[in-house]
Structure 1
Amino acid sequence: MTQRAMKFNKAYSSLINKLPPSLVCEAWSRIISRKRNPMTEEEASSINPLVESFLRHEVNRYQKKLKYQRKSWPLLKNSLYDTDMPDQETQTQDTAPIYTCEHEEEIDCRVKKELDSLSRQLLEFNEKTFDPFIQEITKRLEEQDSVNNKLHSENDQQKLKLHKAEKLLASLSINK
């Protein structure tokens, strides 16, 4: 973050503290690069009712998102996972807070690790859930393949018998 963005943080610290650092960086870039009436860094750094209104809006959006996630998380946890997941308080205690946009690589690394972990959990869940179905389908296909092979074999034998019968008839009709 630039020095100007840090002034932005200080001027609205009560609002900024309610947002994660990534949203603070995003809000800063959005406020100074709006299509309509873009603000200069100086305007955004000073106390401005538009900036305050924008930050309040962002805080409200973020809190609504958290509220929705809290409502939907128990449903997801109960329906998809059989594993113990740490609660939000434990997660926040285990991680050091990140206050600047300069730590984006570290954030990306953490997100990738979490995604890898969730991917592994999903794969394990899918294996537990779908392996019996896959095995049953495979068994049925193998049985059907076996039946088909037997029918092909019988068909070939019938063709041989027919061919022999045709030769015998041909030889009998020639001998008459």
Structure 2
Amino acid sequence: MKFNKAYSGLINKLSPSLVCEAWSRIISRKRNPITEEEASSINPLIESFLRHEVNRYQKKLKYQRKSLPLFKNSLYDTDMPDQETQTRDTDPICDHEEEINCRIKKELGSLSRQLLEYNEKTFDSFMQEITKQLEERINANNKLRSEINQQKLKLQKAEKLLAGLKPNNSEASVKTHK
């Protein structure tokens, strides 16, 4: 692992473990792999990669510094159990998880109710209109079916009348042909 000395300013801003990790990441890239020789020479790609790593590292440190005072204050506010109690009690994490799960379930219930109320307010009139249109179509279809059935009955009556008239017509046509 030998980054070019031109990058020593950037490398000094990283922890040694991150320098090793950056080296292995740069030479084992899946797309456009770089050889160790290319990585140890001056290359704008290497420089931008190192700058990116330094920025990520500095942001991480800045976040840790912000959260550290909160952590210190919480340490002073709590009573620290002795080592025997620490080894004996491993359930507080589980209790904490149960509390978190309980809070999440309550929040999900609240969100579900809010969503149902919102959907009801938003879509209720829309659904009523669709239901009204559906009922109107059903009624219209029922009327059409009724009319079709009535027309079928009339057609059957007309067919019976025609069937009754046919034998008489056939006898008359037979008589006229003789």
Q: What TM-score do the two structures reach when normalised by structure 2? A: 0.43
Structure number, greater radius of gyration: 2
Q: Which has the higher contact order (CA 8 A, sep 6+)?
A: 1
Q: What TM-score do the two structures reach when normalised by structure 1? A: 0.44
